[in-house]
Structure 1
C-alpha cells in the first residue's frame, strides 16, 4: 500500500512551498531550485491522486486537500524540529547512563577508585561496570567503553593505548628458598601456577639490562582467572605470575614474596576501546577523559 511517507523529500517540498506561498521563495528558503520543488510536488500529487495547489500565473493557493495535508505537515515537521533541539540539548547534558566493560582481574581495582572520581565529575550520570574477560562486539554489548588487552581491533572502533601491564612473579613465604645468586632459570624447576586459556602465556620472558631469560613454566595447577591464581598462590600451591595491582598489598604486607624484582616481564598492552562516532555527547567525552586520566601514570598497573 502506497503512503505519503514513501518520499519524505516530496512531502517536505510541498510543506515548504505551502508555507512560503511561492515556489520561488520556497526554493530560496530550502536552498533548492524552483524546478526541483515543482517536480517533487507533482510527484506527491501523482502518488496521492489529488491536486494540492490551485495554480495560476499570478497566484498559488492550497486546495481543500492541500490545506488538510498542510495542517498535518505542520505537526510532523514541527515535531521533527523539536526532537532535533531536544537531542542537541541531550548531547550537551552531563546526565544519563554509561556502560564500561572491564576485565575481571582489573574490575575491583578500577571500580573502587574510578567510581568515586567519576561521581565527582558527573554526579548525574549512572555508571554500569560490566566485569568480563569475554571480548564481545562492543555494538551488541551496549557498552560505551571497553578496556581490552588484545592488540588487534575491529576497524569500526577507536583503540587508545593505555600502557603495558606490569606483571610480577610471586610465591607464598617459606614455600621456596632460593640461593642469593639464583637466576630466573630456576623457575623451570619450580611448581608454577599455569594460565589455562593460553599456553603461550606460560612462557615467561624476564629481562634486566642485557640479561634475558625465557622460562617454560610447568605445574600441577592452572586457572583462567588471575583472582583464582592469586588465591592459589596465597595458599602455597605454586609460583604465580600475576598483575602487580592485584598483589601489591599482599607483597607489602608479607603475604607474598616478590621473586626477581630486578627483572621486568614481557606482557600485554591495555587499550581503551570505543566506537567511532561522527558526533559524541558531552557525557561520553567527559567519561572518556576521566578514564584516560585515571589510567595515566598508574605505576601499580603499567610498566
Structure 2
C-alpha cells in the first residue's frame, strides 16, 4: 500500500503551486519534496507534472492522482476534527462565491456570527453575478438562486424567496398605483438585468400557469442596491426579491402592489461539489447558513 505521505505531499504541492511554497507549508526542504515527487512518478510509471520555471501543470495522470490525493487529505482532516472535537480546533479557509444581492443582505451577519463561533476559520467571500465554475476556480461553495444547474453538485436549500413589485409613495403621488398587470404599460418599470427571465420580462400568475409581461422603463441595472435606491427616490416600479426591500416595506418607504398577481418565487441554495469526505468546517458553515436564513424567512 502506498505511503499516505505521497498523497499529502502531492496535494500540498498542487495547492501551493510551487515546490518552494509546498516545502515551506509542509515543513520539508525543497529538495526533499522534489525527490519525493520524482520517486513517486518513477514508482507509478507515469508523469504527473509538467514542470517549468513559472508553474506546475498537471498531466492527465496527475489530474487523476490529485483527485485521490485530495480525498486522502480531506479524510485526514476529518479524522483530526473528530479526534480534537468539532469546534475546538477548526481552522483554515472557506472560499464562497455569491451574487451581489446575497452578499449585501443576510450573508454578512451570518458570516459575522460564524466567525465569532469559529474564530480560526477564515471566510473569503467573492461577490460576482457571473456563473462561476466553483470547481475550476477553487471555491468550496456558492450561493445561487433558482434550479440546480449541474447534477454533479449538491444543493442545500436555504430558503424560498418571493419577489415583489413596489414603488415609493412619492412615485404613487404622481402615478396611480396599478390594479393589474395590464396597467403596467402606463408606468416606469425599472429593470433588474440579473435574472433569468430577462430585465424587462416580469412573471405573473395566470389561470393556465405563469406568464411573462414585457415592461418598459428608463433605468436598467444588474446591481440590486442601485435598483432599490432608484425605487426609494421615486423613479419607478421595481420587481425584486422581497428580502431586498423588506425593511423599506415595513417602514412604509416603499409600497407593494399587485401582491396576489406576482408569480416569481425562487429557492436560494448553497451549492457545493460532491465529495465523499466533506470537511467538517464546510458542513458546519452550510448548516449555520441554513439556520440563519430560516431565522429571517419571514422577510423572504
**What TM-score do you get using the length of structure 1 for normalisation?**
0.64
* Equivalent pairs, count: 227
Distance apart, 1:163 and its partner CA: 3.9
Query: Residue 80 of structure 1 aligns with which residue?
Result: none
1:131 equivalent in alignment to 2:127? yes
What is the aligned-residue RMSD (CA, Å)? 3.3
Q: After alignment, is 161-170 or 238-247 more displaced? A: 161-170
| Partners of 2:165 and 2:262 within 8 A in 1 | no
Query: Residue 188 of structure 1 aligns with which residue?
Result: 185
Q: Structure 2 vs 1, CA of residues 104 and 289 (structure 1 numbering), >3 Å: closer, same or farther?
A: same
CA distance in 2 between partners of 1:204 and 1:88 (Å): 46
Structure number with larger C-alpha Rg: 1
Q: After alignment, is 281-290 or 195-204 more displaced? A: 195-204
1:273 equivalent in alignment to 2:271? yes
| Partners of 2:97 and 2:126 within 8 A in 1 | yes
Query: Residue 283 of structure 1 aligns with which residue?
Result: 281
Query: Residue 200 of structure 1 aligns with which residue?
Result: 198
**Alignment deviations for residues 137-168 of structure 1 (CA, whole Å, 9 cap, x no partner):** 10232221100124242343212233432211
Distance apart, 1:276 and its partner CA: 0.8
CA distance in 2 between partners of 1:111 and 1:88 (Å): 26
1:149 equivalent in alignment to 2:145? yes
CA distance in 2 between partners of 1:181 and 1:7 (Å): 75
Query: Residue 260 of structure 1 aligns with which residue?
Result: 258
**Alignment deviations for residues 165-188 of structure 1 (CA, whole Å, 9 cap, x no partner):** 221111121322576892232123
CA distance in 2 between partners of 1:187 and 1:268 (Å): 23
**What TM-score do you get using the length of structure 2 for normalisation?**
0.64
Q: Structure 2 vs 1, CA of residues 84 and 155 (structure 1 numbering), >3 Å: closer, same or farther?
A: closer
Structure 1 segments (4+ residues) deviating >4 Å: 83-93, 177-181, 208-214
2:96 alignment partner, one of 85, 97, 100: 100
1:122 equivalent in alignment to 2:118? yes
| Partners of 2:159 and 2:290 within 8 A in 1 | no
CA distance in 1 between partners of 2:218 and 2:75 (Å): 63
Query: Residue 60 of structure 2 aligns with which residue?
Result: none
| Partners of 1:111 and 1:129 within 8 A in 2 | no
CA distance in 2 between partners of 1:102 and 1:113 (Å): 15
Q: Structure 2 vs 1, CA of residues 88 and 189 (structure 1 numbering), >3 Å: closer, same or farther?
A: closer
What secondary structure is seen at the aligned counterpart in 2 of 1:169?
A: strand
1:215 alignment partner, one of 196, 213, 216: 213
